[in-house]
Amino acid sequence: MILAMLRVMTLGLLRDRGALVLAFVLPPAIFVIFASIFSATTSDKLDLKVAVAQLSSTPASQRLEDALRQEPTFEVTGPVRSNRADVESLVKQGAADVGLVIRGEIDDTDAAPLEVLIEPSKLMAGSIVSGRVQELVARRLPDLLLSRTAVTFQSVVGAFTPEQSARLAAAIEAGARVSEQQVSTNAPGLVATASVGSSGSSGATVSYYAGAVAILFLLFASLQSAATLIEERNSGIIDRIAVGPGGSAVVVLGKLLFLTIQGVIQVGLIFTVAQLVYEVDVIKRLDLWLLITVAAALGASGLALAVATACTTKQQAQTVSTFVVLICSAIGGSMVPRFMMPEFLQAIGRFTPNTWAIEAYYGVFWRHEALSDVIPEIVSLVAMAVVGTAFALIVSRRRLRF
């Protein structure tokens, strides 16, 4: 009986060509995508976009700017700005992952001549850029670094006379007892970092992942619930309902309404926890939250209905649903922030519902954006709902058996 059951299931899979392809072609495709994402996150070769501002036009700062543009590990976005505010704005808006302000001479020991501007949800990107800039200066501009070191050294001991040698020994001994805070205050490094926008990286992270988890579960729940269309079609329920005045559209639109309401409730529960536990100010932006949530729920529902009507068997629907959720969530930013991905995956990810929902929620709750700023994401989600629902209506009508 065991072998008989094995034979039955094998024949069933072989006869279902769609499920066969999905079962053995999609896993390698998913592996390639995930390998590309996670191999990039564990290396130091992230494709980070860096906005640069140069406050002092000197030969040394110009050399540093040229070195930044020639460095393959950096992608300098647009022209070099002349003030810090422009770079800060680009980082806040997400147009640049990190900002770099060249605010003084490299040999200036009174203050750090370079400042890295970090968006709180991208702290790792700021740390990577800070390290790369210091390594770049040491490797490609060693004379500037040596000049800075010489100035610091001379300010401590002066020339090498016997008396000054004693001062040097005393300074070294005193330096061993200086605390980390005193070092940062009295001996500024080459690079300083500063956060832009609101303070508190935990709030930025919570705002980001509230949206990321919300759209992830919207896709899961919608795709699972919409799969009942296949059972209803195979059992003849849709055929019987289609005899009525509303036709098969009654079933599709009824499920769209149910999935949307279900999705709004799910997202509401997620953001209620975010409000109560993590102090995300949902109540203050309730109108925009509701607009984004309805659009996201509609988009996920439309996509789910399109997948369910396109599949002919439940096995196909399960495989396709898993594939859609995993791929959209992976390249859309629900699993890993998109700035950590290769450039080609970032480009593809811009066309996923996950990216649209995450950007809209994050923009409202962390960047404090207005309705006009999140309109593109809302329109994209609603457009996906319209296209998916229209596709489901057409396919559902064509598959009626009378």
Residue range 187-219, pLDDT digits in tens:
346 788 888 866 544 578 888 899 999 999 999
Residue 15 and residue 10: Cα distance in Å, rounded?
Answer: 9
Rounded-to-integer distance, Cα 355 and Cα 289, Å? 16
H-helix or E-strand spanning residue 52:
strand 49-54
User: According to the model, what pLDDT value does residue 165 have?
Assistant: 57
Among 91-100, 215-224, 264-273, 383-392, which stretch is predicted with the lowest mean pLDDT? 91-100
- pLDDT band of residue 181 (cuts 50, 70, 90) is very low
Q: Please say whether the beta carbons of 331 and 352 come within 8 A.
A: yes
Does residue 296 have a pLDDT over 90? yes
Hey, CA dihedral for 330, 334, 338, 344, is it positive or negative? positive
Q: For residues 244 and 250, is the Cβ–Cβ distance under 8 A?
A: yes
* Phi and psi at residue 101, to the nearest 5°: -110, 120
Spatial contact of 250 and 241, defined as CB atoms under 8 Å apart: yes
* Confidence band, pLDDT 50/70/90 cuts, at residue 176: very low
Coil vs helix vs strand at 334? coil
pLDDT of the residue at 214:
94
**Residue type for position 9:** M
Q: Is the pLDDT of residue 113 over 90?
A: no
What 386-389 contacts at long range (C-beta under 8 Å, 24+ apart), as own/partner pairs, is: 386/302, 387/302, 387/306, 388/299, 388/301, 388/302, 388/303, 388/304, 388/305, 388/306, 389/252, 389/253, 389/256, 389/301, 389/302, 389/305, 389/306
Residue 3 has pLDDT above 80, yes or no: no
* 267 within 8 A of 293, measured Cβ to Cβ: yes
Q: What are phi and psi of 98, to 5 degrees?
A: -145, 150
CA terminus-to-terminus distance, the chain: 39
Arithmetic mean of pLDDT, 133-140? 78
The mean pLDDT value for 242-257 works out to: 78
Residue linked to tokens 């495989």? 319
Q: What is the pLDDT of residues 337-353, one digit of tens each?
A: 887 788 888 888 899 99
Return the DSSP state at 402: -
In order, the DSSP letters of 53-94 are: EESS--HHHHHHHHHHHH-TT-EE-SSPBSSHHHHHHHHHHT
Q: Distance (Å, rounded) from C-alpha 126 to C-alpha 352? A: 26
Closest CA to 284 of 295, 275, 292: 275
The SS3 of residue 237 is helix
Contact criterion met (CB below 8 Å) for 83 and 52: no
Give the closest residue to 353 by CA, choosing from 278, 303, 396.
303
pLDDT at res. 2:
76
Tens of pLDDT, residues 34-69: 777 767 655 556 678 888 888 877 777 778 888 888
SS3 content of the chain, % helix, strand, coil (to 5): 70, 5, 20
pLDDT digits (tens, 9 = 90+) for 365-382: 888 888 999 999 999 999
Q: Please tell me the predicted confidence (pLDDT) of residue 217.
A: 93
Higher pLDDT: 247 or 133? It is 133
Instruction: Assign a CATH topology to domain 49-195.
Output: abc type-2 transporter like fold (3.40.1710)
Predicted local distance difference test score (pLDDT) of residue 359: 93
Domain range annotation of the chain: 49-195, 201-398
Tell me 351's DSSP state: T
Angle at CA of residue 11, ends 5 and 13, nearest 5°: 105
| Cβ-contact 189, 347 below 8 angstroms | no
CB 276 within 8 A of CB 309: no
Task: Fill in the amino acid letter for 395.
Answer: V
More confident residue, 116 or 68: 116
Nearest by Cα to 295 from 175, 196, 380:
380
Which of 228, 315, 311 is closest to 13 using CA atoms?
A: 315
Structure tokens at 223: 């795709």
Higher-pLDDT residue of 300 and 201 is 300
